[in-house]
Amino acid sequence: MIKITLPDNSVREYESGVTGMDIAKSISHNLAKEVLSVSVNGETWDLTRPIKEDVSIKLYTWDDDEGKHAFWHSSSHLMAEALQELYPGVKFGIGPAIESGFYYDIDLGEDRVLTEADLSKIEAKMLELARAKSTYAREDISKEKALNFFNAKNEVYKTELISELTDGTITLYKHGNFTDLCKGPHLPGTEYIKSVKVTSLAGAYWRGDEKRKQLTRVYGISFPKQKLLEEYLMVLEEAKKRDHRKLGKELELFMFSSKVGMGLPIWLPKGAKLRERLENFLKKVQMKYGYEQVISPHIGQKELYVTSGHFEKYGKDSFQPITTPQEGEEFLLKPMNCPHHCEIYKFKPRSYRDLPIRLAEFGTVYRYEQSGELHGLTRVRGFTQDDAHIFCRPDQLKEEFIKVIDIVLYIFKTLSFKDYVAQISLRDPNNTTKYIGSDENWEKSERAIIEAAAEKGLKTTQVIGEAAFYGPKLDFMVKDAIGRKWQLGTIQVDYNLPERFNLEYIGSDDKPHRPVMIHRAPFGSMERFVAVLIEHTSGKFPLWLTPEQCVILPISEKFNDYAKKVLNFLNNYDIRSLIDERNEKIGRKIRDNELKRIPYLLIVGEKEAENNTIAVRKQGEGDKGVMTLQEFATFLTEEVRKETELLTNTEEP
RNA sequence: GCCGAUGUAGCUCAGUUGGUCAGAGCAGCUGAUUUGUAAUCAGCUGGUCGGGGGUUCGAAUCCCUCUAUCGGCUCCA
């Protein structure tokens, strides 16, 4: 007998060789029906794999990521089997479960391509194979045997993977007519998969290397119930309605013009006002934190970026230098503000007493992004960073870094961004050609970030190889409507540029010293931040930010004059409002302005004109009753004050 | 940049296999109506069907190419 410890710390005894499924059955019939995989001492196992010693287990269902993972991973094997049946000779790459669903990378050979018409065929075949109720069987074999097995099938991608594995034994999973190199875990059988959607096709380089062959990636998602698939598709539909590209157009916030150029956003009046308000908000916060605004030009001598290292790193993949006609001087559109700010630092000798110097600029930068990369406002070729560079003494670094974290968290809080990931991006020590600077500087920088984040109690994930070429970063990642992750706020420690630009300050010892730099942008870029803000709010911006706070709706043209009076009254309170003077019925005006996501609709007719009142309607909530002009102005001003309370009453940094 | 898809009026979309196929709704304009809480009615305007080539007696429809957009890959200072 062996002892099995359950998550509630209760211990049950079973025969050696008991499986996760046996245990589930012994607990409850329903659990046995729902369980998908099992954690055995922290490792996820198949439900059918025998347990032979005392362990702690946890049973995973569809409600657990681990359960879904096993489900989707098994689905990808099922899809592979379907592909093998439909397209004989297809070679398989990898086929993992992903955050929502799964994919399989396949090589169909030279003259075959999949098109979207094939997707439903694949679905149908998958469901057919699922109903065959094949079991997923695990098998450990020697590396040599595994190589022979896949060589015989000419599975070149699999043999490449196996030959790189260092484990003595290789694990295979087999179900139906399909056998795959795989660590598992898997569902007990294909019959668990009741509902399948093959969602899309894409090209994907083998092993993510653009120099290698591009395989066809088939994406899919599957569910244990048809209803769950329908719900998933509904959620996707809803998410599409929040897409900032759609809302940006509808709400007239920004546009693109292929005549101006792809990836070059154009801010329309309403979007520009919104952005301006965000900028002013941040300026106010930064002022409290001792930042000084500067303004630098949009281009800089090529030499400046040779000094900074940007030219060597990105020169080939940037907009190419612009040259002067007479002298042939070369200028680059600035891809970063830091070199300019380094020059500002060098404007005059700095004393240790002057530090930290915090130079802030809403700096517009231009970067050549590959055409396939462009995406609405989140990935563009020209954008404005809410940039600042802090030049400080080494002994001030941690304190300064923490203050920047405070600013980022404060902004996220003010704008209700709750769902973010703080990611520490470190360099890949095995790929030093990607980075500039000494190991010592890198170690110091990385330590500073890790310590500062820990000191703030920030929950972070660490990702190797994601650092900027000059230093490590603390990035704040936020998801968009359809779950894509974008980097917004970023804080970077940099010992390298001060060296390259030979920045100095005179210490208390009357000797020159090297300052440390912090690059930081709490929004990241105005474009990307506004994009994510649109998707998070689905265009219903907070009152203090929204382009138009209220719209006055006269019942008929007879009350237009009174409407103008209301408008003037509100204008005196800096309340942003407009009148819908169209010759339409009130129901129509309400509908149209609700759709424009204007927070307050103020209806004025005979009664209101007589009594100097307005009938107030809140966006999405309906009639709020009648108020006097004064009452409403006071109410709205108070609402805005509450929203921005944080802005004006921050604790002194 | 690579793979796949898409591109019809300002917007959302119809247009079977190439032959009155250039359409609808909304928006816009004009007029009527003067309206009380999510679409008043009528009339009108608007498109070399993304651009350019080609096949054909004939192309929105088929082919090539360019361009932009969408979903991914790679990249992201």
pLDDT at A114: 87
Catalytic residue positions of A? 338, 367, 385, 387, 389, 473, 519
- What is the CATH superfamily name and number for domain A72-241? Threonyl-trna Synthetase; Chain A, domain 2 (3.30.980.10)
User: Does the nearest atom of strand B lie within 7 Å of A431's Cβ?
Assistant: no
pLDDT at A165: 87
pLDDT band, very low/low/confident/very high, at A648 (cuts 50, 70, 90): low
pLDDT at A55: 94
User: Does the nearest atom of strand B lie within 7 Å of A262's Cβ?
Assistant: yes
pLDDT at A21: 95
Burial of A307 from C-beta contacts in 10 A (0-12 / 13-18 / 19+): middle
Residues of chain A with pLDDT > 90, as a percent, come to 91
Task: State the nucleotide closest to A625 in CA–C1' terms.
Answer: B37
User: Does the nearest atom of strand B lie within 7 Å of A433's Cβ?
Assistant: no
User: Does the nearest atom of strand B lie within 7 Å of A210's Cβ?
Assistant: yes
pLDDT at A429: 87
How far apart (Å, rounded) are the C-alpha atoms in residues A49 and A38?
9
Task: State the nucleotide closest to A560 in CA–C1' terms.
Answer: B34
How far apart (Å, rounded) are the C-alpha atoms in residues A77 and A208?
21
Is residue A647 predicted with pLDDT exceeding 70?
A: no
Separation of CA A159 and C1' B75 in angstroms? 28
**All structural domains of chain A with their residue ranges:** 2-61, 72-241, 254-537, 550-646
SS3 of residue A461 by DSSP = strand
Task: State the nucleotide closest to A620 in CA–C1' terms.
Answer: B38
Token digits of residue A26: 């012994």
Task: State the nucleotide closest to A467 in CA–C1' terms.
Answer: B77
Task: State the nucleotide closest to A335 in CA–C1' terms.
Answer: B77
The mean of the pLDDT values for chain A is: 94
In contact, A640 and A543? CB cutoff 8 Å: yes
In contact, A471 and A463? CB cutoff 8 Å: no
Where helices occur in A56-155 by DSSP H, the ranges are 65-86, 117-131, 143-152
Is residue A651 predicted with pLDDT exceeding 60?
A: no
Is residue A103 predicted with pLDDT exceeding 60?
A: yes
Residue with tokens 């709490």: A522
CATH 3.10.20.30 describes domain A2-61: yes
DSSP line for A536-588: HHTT---TTT-S--EEEEESSGGGHHHHHHHHHHHHTTT--EEE---S--HHH
Is residue A466 predicted with pLDDT exceeding 80?
A: yes
Q: How far apart are the first and last CA of chain A?
A: 62
Q: Which of residues 434-473 of A touch strand B (CB under 7 A)?
A: 468-469
SS3 of residue A522 by DSSP = coil
In contact, A114 and A216? CB cutoff 8 Å: yes
Token digits of residue A171: 């694990």
User: Does the nearest atom of strand B lie within 7 Å of A625's Cβ?
Assistant: no
User: Does the nearest atom of strand B lie within 7 Å of A540's Cβ?
Assistant: no
- Which are the contacts of A411, defined by CB distance < 8 A and separation ≥ 6? A282, A285, A417, A489, A522, A523
pLDDT at A116: 82
pLDDT at A516: 96
SS3 of residue A507 by DSSP = coil
How far apart (Å, rounded) are the C-alpha atoms in residues A197 and A393?
57
Task: State the nucleotide closest to A240 in CA–C1' terms.
Answer: B70
Is residue A652 predicted with pLDDT exceeding 60?
A: no
Separation of CA A117 and C1' B16 in angstroms? 18
Q: Which of residues 299-318 of A touch strand B (CB under 7 A)?
A: 310, 313-314, 317-318
Separation of CA A94 and C1' B7 in angstroms? 34
pLDDT at A351: 97
How far apart (Å, rounded) are the C-alpha atoms in residues A88 and A478?
42
pLDDT at A317: 86
User: Does the nearest atom of strand B lie within 7 Å of A200's Cβ?
Assistant: yes
User: Does the nearest atom of strand B lie within 7 Å of A606's Cβ?
Assistant: yes
pLDDT at A69: 96
Is residue A63 predicted with pLDDT exceeding 70?
A: yes
CB < 8 Å & 24+ apart, contacts of A555-564 = A555/A586, A555/A603, A555/A604, A555/A605, A555/A606, A556/A605, A557/A581, A557/A583, A558/A606, A559/A604, A559/A605, A559/A606, A559/A608, A559/A609, A562/A604, A562/A608, A562/A609, A563/A604
- For the stretch A355-376, what's the b/e string if a residue is b when 16 or more beta carbons lie within 10 angstroms of its beta carbon? bbbbbbbbbbbbbbbeeeeebb
Kindly report which amino acid residue has its CA closest to the C1' atom of nucleotide B39: A588
Separation of CA A515 and C1' B10 in angstroms? 55
Residue with tokens 């500002």: A344
Separation of CA A413 and C1' B27 in angstroms? 39
In contact, A560 and A420? CB cutoff 8 Å: no
- Which are the contacts of A173, defined by CB distance < 8 A and separation ≥ 6? A77, A136, A137, A138, A139, A179, A180, A182, A184, A186
Separation of CA A478 and C1' B20 in angstroms? 55
pLDDT at A110: 77
pLDDT band, very low/low/confident/very high, at A556 (cuts 50, 70, 90): very high
User: Does the nearest atom of strand B lie within 7 Å of A428's Cβ?
Assistant: no
Each residue of A488-546: pLDDT tens digit? 999 999 999 999 999 999 999 999 999 999 999 999 999 999 999 999 999 999 999 99
Amino acid at A131: R
- What separation in angstroms does the CA of A647 have from each of A89, A291, A418, A640, A650? 63, 16, 18, 11, 6
Each residue of A19-55: pLDDT tens digit? 999 999 999 999 999 999 999 999 999 999 999 999 9
Give me the CATH topology for the region A254-537. Answer: BirA Bifunctional Protein; domain 2 (3.30.930)
User: Does the nearest atom of strand B lie within 7 Å of A379's Cβ?
Assistant: yes
Rg (CA), chain A: 30
How far apart (Å, rounded) are the C-alpha atoms in residues A306 and A182?
47
- Could you tell me what percentage of chain A is helix, strand and coil, using 3-state DSSP and rounding each to the nearest 5? 40, 30, 35
Residue with tokens 């030499």: A303
pLDDT band, very low/low/confident/very high, at A113 (cuts 50, 70, 90): confident
- For A550-646, CATH number out of 3.40.50.1000, 3.40.50.300, 3.40.50.10490, 3.40.50.800 equals 3.40.50.800
Which helix (H) or strand (E) element contains residue A251?
none
Amino acid at A194: K
Least confident interval from A8-17, A160-169, A376-385: A160-169
User: Does the nearest atom of strand B lie within 7 Å of A617's Cβ?
Assistant: yes
Q: Which of residues 10-39 of A touch strand B (CB under 7 A)?
A: none
User: Does the nearest atom of strand B lie within 7 Å of A258's Cβ?
Assistant: yes
In contact, A537 and A543? CB cutoff 8 Å: no
Maximal C-alpha separation, chain A: 93
Each residue of A127-174: pLDDT tens digit? 999 999 999 999 999 999 999 999 999 999 999 999 998 877 899 999
* Residue A585: CB atoms within 10 Å: 11
Q: E-strand spans in A341-401?
A: 357-366, 382-392
Which bases of strand B sit closer than 7 A to a protein CB? 1-5, 11-12, 28, 32-40, 67-77
Token digits of residue A183: 């660590």
How far apart (Å, rounded) are the C-alpha atoms in residues A200 and A218?
6
Length of chain A (residues):
653
Kindly report which amino acid residue has its CA closest to the C1' atom of nucleotide B67: A258
Nearest by Cα to A77 from A101, A96, A55:
A96
Separation of CA A588 and C1' B39 in angstroms? 6
Separation of CA A63 and C1' B76 in angstroms? 34
Task: State the nucleotide closest to A202 in CA–C1' terms.
Answer: B72
Residue scoring higher pLDDT (A184 or A566): A566
How far apart (Å, rounded) are the C-alpha atoms in residues A242 and A250?
11
Burial of A325 from C-beta contacts in 10 A (0-12 / 13-18 / 19+): exposed
User: Does the nearest atom of strand B lie within 7 Å of A356's Cβ?
Assistant: no
pLDDT at A345: 98
Task: State the nucleotide closest to A465 in CA–C1' terms.
Answer: B76
Task: To the nearest 10°, report the CA torsion of A261, A251, A272, A254.
Answer: -10
Separation of CA A592 and C1' B39 in angstroms? 8
How far apart (Å, rounded) are the C-alpha atoms in residues A618 and A498?
53
SS3 of residue A633 by DSSP = helix
Is residue A649 predicted with pLDDT exceeding 70?
A: no
Residues of chain A with pLDDT > 70, as a percent, come to 99
How far apart (Å, rounded) are the C-alpha atoms in residues A42 and A608?
68
User: Does the nearest atom of strand B lie within 7 Å of A376's Cβ?
Assistant: yes
Separation of CA A246 and C1' B9 in angstroms? 19
Amino acid at A375: H
Is residue A75 predicted with pLDDT exceeding 90?
A: yes
Q: Which of residues 84-143 of A touch strand B (CB under 7 A)?
A: 113-116
How far apart (Å, rounded) are the C-alpha atoms in residues A60 and A67?
5
Separation of CA A71 and C1' B68 in angstroms? 39
Is residue A270 predicted with pLDDT exceeding 90?
A: yes
Measured over the CA atoms of residue A28, residue A31, residue A37 and residue A42, the dihedral's sign is negative
User: Does the nearest atom of strand B lie within 7 Å of A216's Cβ?
Assistant: yes
Task: State the nucleotide closest to A475 in CA–C1' terms.
Answer: B76
pLDDT at A432: 81
Task: State the nucleotide closest to A604 in CA–C1' terms.
Answer: B36
Separation of CA A215 and C1' B74 in angstroms? 13
